[in-house]
Amino acid sequence: MKQRIALLGSTGSIGEQTLDVVSQHPELFEITTLTANRRWEQLVAQARRFSPDSVVIADKTYYAQVSEALADTDVKVYAGIDAVAQVAAASNVDTVVNALVGYAGLAPSVASLRAGKKLALANKESLVVAGDIVMGLVGTEGSALVPIDSEHSAIFQCLVGEPSPVRRVVVTASGGSFRDTPISELHNVTVEQALRHPNWNMGAKITIDSSTLVNKAFEVIEARWLFGLKPEQIDVLIHPQSIIHSMVEFADGAIKAQLGTPDMRVPIQYALSFPHRLPLETPPFDFLSHPELTFRAVDRQKYPALDLAYHCLYAGGTSGCIFNAANEIAVAAFISKQIGYTDIVRTIENAFSKVALIAKPTLEDYAATNDQVRRLSEEYVQNL
Ligand code: MG
């Protein structure tokens, strides 16, 4: 029996790389559903190549174009955000690859787990916003969650076969586009500079998030939920080479690391094939061309976002939701050149100072907080 996959966010970087993995193992995987936000032509091309049962275009304004372009096929076409969560829970799906960006990924994550699917999760915001609810649903109707985020896949791989509790995890960080830029120059940096990531080829939002270390801050929160860790058990180290994808230290002091050339297809494929490993067309790792693996502490002055993650771990409740919503607005405003680079963290700090925390939120509370923070942050960035 082939594993039937719904790929949410198929036209993004993770989406395209997932399709690459699937096409290397046509005897094991089949695509039943593809969803895209706005890139309808790319979605149509993917649908022609992978013949899914259905596609969803989240932005309804492109429904007519997609329908027309696939009129000569059997592919069912749906439109709208709600349809994304609906196809994730559909009976023709075993595994949901959630490669959506931002808060929009939460509802489909919840729907997949409630419907008993395996959730291969690249949308870290699901856990940043509502990790308590998402993790509480794992196991429902036999559902499971396997991380795709490279650091968490690394930790997950290190933990396979280890029943004992860990001492700590070390999440590695490349340092992003400005790791060698002095703090005094950060207020002048441009969008174009921020989009040049040294090691990983990723989408625009996550590349900006990597440069501010908001991405790493989110990954600290993600690790807390995925692996049930206390704040003091999660360390972050700058590792400029991005060869060690993360590490786990056990009670006896033994450390396991997962290493390799940065290639998101490895964690994507592992999430699909777990607990097995499948061949992937990657060259053998050449240690001699990477003779130095170096580490340094994160400069907390330069990267204030990391402290915000630990604030969220202690504060709990809706704090991660506030963090994420303010960041989404700030990054969009920075990409559209409305605000400066250092205004991103300023916008997040403003939201924390203005929005009341809800200690035991429901999904409705998360939605209300998300709306509230977005409105407040939109206003804030307009006045910067
Ligand atoms: Mg990552």
In the chain the beta strands, taken as DSSP E runs, fall at 3-8, 29-36, 54-57, 76-79, 95-98, 118-121, 144-147, 166-173, 234-238, 244-250, 255-259
Mean pLDDT taken over the chain = 96
Beta bridge partner(s), residue 258: 246
Does the pLDDT value for residue 46 go beyond 70? yes
Whether the predicted pLDDT of 199 surpasses 80: no
Ligand 1 centroid from CA 124, angstroms: 9
pLDDT band at 201 (very low <50, low <70, confident <90, very high): low
Contacts of 53 (CB under 8 A, 6+ apart): 32, 33, 74, 75, 76, 92
Q: How far is the CA of 151 from the centre of ligand 1 (A)?
A: 5
pLDDT greater than 70 at residue 167:
yes
User: How is residue 251 annotated by DSSP?
Assistant: T
Rg for the chain, CA atoms, rounded: 20
Q: Which residue matches tokens 């972050």?
A: 236
Which residues place a Cβ less than 5 A from the ion ligand 1?
A: 149-151
* C-alpha 143 to ligand 1 mean position (Å): 23
Q: Which two tokens stand for residue 256?
A: 């396991």
| C-alpha 171 – ligand 1 centre gap (Å) | 9
CB 96 within 8 A of CB 108: yes
Q: Quote the CA–CA distance of 379 and 257 in Å, as a whole number.
A: 44
Phi, psi at 35, each rounded to 5°: -130, 145
Beta strand 118-121 pairing with 244-250:
unpaired
- Tokens 């396991």 belong to residue: 256
**244 CA to centre of ligand 1 in angstroms:** 12
Cα 245 to ligand 1 centre (Å): 8
| Ligand 1 center–CA 149 separation, angstroms | 5
Nearest to 257 by CA among 269, 243, 237: 243
Q: What is the pLDDT of residue 202?
A: 73
Instruction: Give the phi and the psi of residue 277 in degrees, each rounded to 5.
Output: -120, 145
Q: What is the pTM of this model?
A: 0.96
Report how far ligand 1's centroid is from the alpha carbon of 206 (Å): 9
User: For residue 56, is pLDDT > 70?
Assistant: yes
pLDDT digits (tens, 9 = 90+) for 134-161: 999 999 999 999 999 999 999 999 999 9
Residue whose tokens read 């290493």: 259
**Residue 196, pLDDT score:** 85
